[in-house]
Structure 1
Amino acid sequence: MDGLPPGYRPNFGVCLINSDNQVFVASRLNVPGAWQMPQWCQGAIEDGEEPKLAAIKKLREETGVVSAEIIAEVPNWLTYDFPPTVKAKVNRLWGGEWHGQAQKWFLMRLTKDNDSEINLANGEADTEFAEWKWASPEEVIEQAVDYKRPQYEEVMKTFEPYLNGSSISAKCKSTKW
C-alpha cells in the first residue's frame, strides 16, 4: 500500500452523507456515547483488494447500506496515535507493536433519498454499533474521542466542498427495539 507510514495499522474509514449533507455517525457498543464515522480495523482490506471496493463491502456489512456511491477520497493516509491504555489493549489483541492507525478515507453519498436501508443489526457482521444518527460536520468533530479528533478535523476539511450547508442534525436512531 503506497505511502503507508511504518508502525501504523492500515485500515479505512467512510464518511457517509445524506441528501442534506449530514454525516452518518454511530455509537459503539463497547464505548457508549463515543460517536464515530464507520471505520474498519480488522480484516478490512484483503490482500490484493482495492480499498474502494473494501469500503463499499464493509459499509454494506456493518450498516446495511447498499445504495451509496463514492464521490471523493482523502488522497493520503491519515494517522492517529493510540493513547497508552488503548495501545496496550490493541497490541495484545492484534499482536505487534502499533503506534496507532493509518486510514484511507472515502466520502460516500446515499443514492436513495431516505435512510431505510440503515440496519446496524443486519446479520452480515457482528454488530459493533448501538445506535446511529445524522450529524453536522461540527458535531462529528465535537463528539469524537479525543485522540481521533485531529484526524476527523482533517477528514472534514478535505471533504468540506461536498459538506457545505450541513448545519441541521437529526434525532438519534437506535437498534434497540
Structure 2
Amino acid sequence: MEGLPSGYRPNVGICLINSENQVFVASRLNVPGAWQMPQGAIEDGEEPRSAAIRLLREETGIVSAEIVAEVPHWLKYDFPPAVKAKVNRLWGGEWHGQATKWFLMRLSRDDSEVNLESGEADTEFAEWRWAIPEEVIEQAVDYKRPTYEEVLGILMP
C-alpha cells in the first residue's frame, strides 16, 4: 500500500460521528477503562476504504454510515514493550506498532443499529457511548493519545 511505513501493521481507524458531531467510542473488553474509536487490521488485498466499512460493521453492527473524509496519509504509533510482545505473539509478526489510515464517517440513521456482539467477528468492546473530541483524547490509552489528537485535529478541526 502506497506510503505505508515498513514494520508497521496496516490498519484502518474510524472516527464515526452522529448528527451532533459527537464521536463514537467503545471500551475494550481486554483493557478495562480504555476507550477507543473502532480500528483494526486491513486484510490482504483489501483497500483501506473497504476495510473501514467492513470493520465498522463487524465491530459495531453499524451499516448506515458514509465516509465523508479521510486523513491523506498514514498515521503511526509504536507499541509499548509489553503490548508489542503480546500483539506480536497473537498476530505472528514483528511489528513496531500500527500505521493507520483514518476515515471520518457520519452515521446516516439513529444509533439503534449499534450491536457490539454482531457475531461477525470476535467481540472487542464491552460498552459504547458518544463523546466530544476532547473526551475521546483524554480517555484513550497513553500511546494512542498523540495519534487521536492528530486525527481529530485533521478530521474535526
CA distance in 1, matches of 2:89, 2:111: 37
Give the 4+ runs in structure 1 shifted more than 4 A. none
Which deviates further from its counterpart, 94-103 or 62-71?
A: 94-103
- State the identity %: 78
Q: Does 1:160 align with 2:156?
A: yes
The structure with more radius of gyration = 1
Shift of 1:69: 0.1
In structure 1, C-alpha distance between the alignment counterparts of 2:113 and 2:17, rounded to whole Å: 14
* Matched residue, 2:12: 12
- One-letter code of the match for 1:62? E
In 1, Cα distance between equivalents of 2:103 and 2:20: 18
1:141·1:152 contact (CA, 8 Å) conserved in 2? yes
TM-score, normalised on structure 2?
Answer: 0.96
Question: Structure 2: 5+ residue runs without aligned partners?
Answer: none
User: Does residue 82 of structure 2 align to residue 85 of structure 1?
Assistant: yes
Kindly report which structure 2 residues correspond to 1:12-31, keeping only aligned pairs within 5 A, or say none.
Answer: 12-31=12-31
Counterpart of 2:73 (choices 52, 73, 76) is 76
Q: Which amino acid aligns with 1:29?
A: L
- Count the aligned residue pairs: 157
1:147 aligns with 2:143: yes
1:119 aligns with 2:115: yes
Please state how far the C-alpha of 1:102 moved relative to its aligned partner: 0.3
Q: CA RMSD in A?
A: 1.0
Counterpart in the other structure of 1:46: 44
Aligned match of 2:104:
107
Task: Indicate the SS of the match to 2:103.
Answer: strand
